[in-house]
Homo-oligomer: A and B are copies of this chain.
Amino acid sequence: MTINQFVESISSYLIEKRRSFHKMPELGFTEYVTTYRIFQQLDELDFNIFVGEETLVADERYGVPTQSELDEAEVRACHNGVPQAFIEKMQGGQTGIVAVLDTGRPGPHTAMRFDIDALPIKESQDDEHLPASNGFRSTIEDCMHACGHDGHTTIGLGVAKFLHEHHDELTGRYTLLFQPAEEGGRGAKAMVAKGWLDDVDYFLSGHLGIGDQEAGVVSATSSRFLASSKLNVHFKGKSAHAGVEPNEGKNALLAAASASLHLNSIPRHKDGATRVNVGRLEAGSGRNVIADYAYMEMETRGETTELNQYMLEQAKRMIDSSGQLYDVETEVEFMGEALNGRCDAEFLELIPKANEDNRFVTGVIDTIEVGASEDVTFMMERVQDQGGKATFMIFPSSIPNGHHHPAFDFDEYSLKTAVSTFAHTIQYINEQETI
Residue contact A287 to B245, C-beta cutoff 8 Å: no
A279 lies within 8 A of B270 (CB): no
> Given A248-B270, A270-B246, A405-B240 in contact, is the A286-B275 Cβ separation under 8 Å?
no
Across the interface, A257 reaches (CB within 8 A) one of B249, B257, B373, namely B257
A177-198 at interface with B (beta carbon < 8 Å): 183-184
Of residues 268 through 316 on chain A, the ones whose CB sits less than 8 Å from some CB of chain B are 268-275, 277-292, 294, 297-299, 301, 310
Residue in B268, B275, B291, B373 whose beta carbon sits within 8 Å of that of A280 in the complex: B291
A67 to B80, CA, bound (A): 27
Any chain B CB within 8 A of the CB of A402?
yes
Our pick among B184, B265, B281 for the contact of A281 (Cβ within 8 Å) is: B281
Considering residues A253, A290, A291, A320, which has the most beta carbons from chain B within 10 angstroms of its beta carbon?
A253
A270 — which chain B residues lie within 8 A by C-beta? 244-248, 371
Please, how many angstroms separate the alpha-carbon atoms of A328 and B335 in the complex?
29
A-side interface residues, number (CB < 8 Å): 82
CB of A254 within 8 A of chain B?
yes
Q: Is the CB of B281 within 8 A of A402?
A: no
Q: Is the CB of B405 within 8 A of A239?
A: yes
- Interface residues, chain A, with chain B CB atoms under 8 Å away: 119-122, 142, 183-184, 210, 226, 228, 230, 239-249, 251, 253-254, 256-258, 260-262, 264-265, 267-275, 277-292, 294, 297-299, 301, 310, 317-318, 320-322, 324-325, 327, 335, 370-373, 402-406
Beyond the given pairs A246-B277, A257-B281, A278-B284, 19 more chain A to chain B contacts, judged by CB atoms under 8 angstroms and listed by A's residue number, are: A240-B402, A241-B372, A241-B402, A241-B404, A242-B277, A243-B373, A245-B270, A248-B270, A248-B402, A253-B278, A254-B265, A258-B262, A279-B287, A280-B283, A288-B299, A288-B373, A292-B406, A321-B321, A321-B324
15 A–B contacts, CB within 8 A, in A order: A121-B286, A183-B288, A242-B275, A244-B403, A247-B271, A251-B267, A256-B257, A257-B257, A261-B262, A264-B264, A265-B265, A277-B288, A279-B287, A281-B281, A322-B325
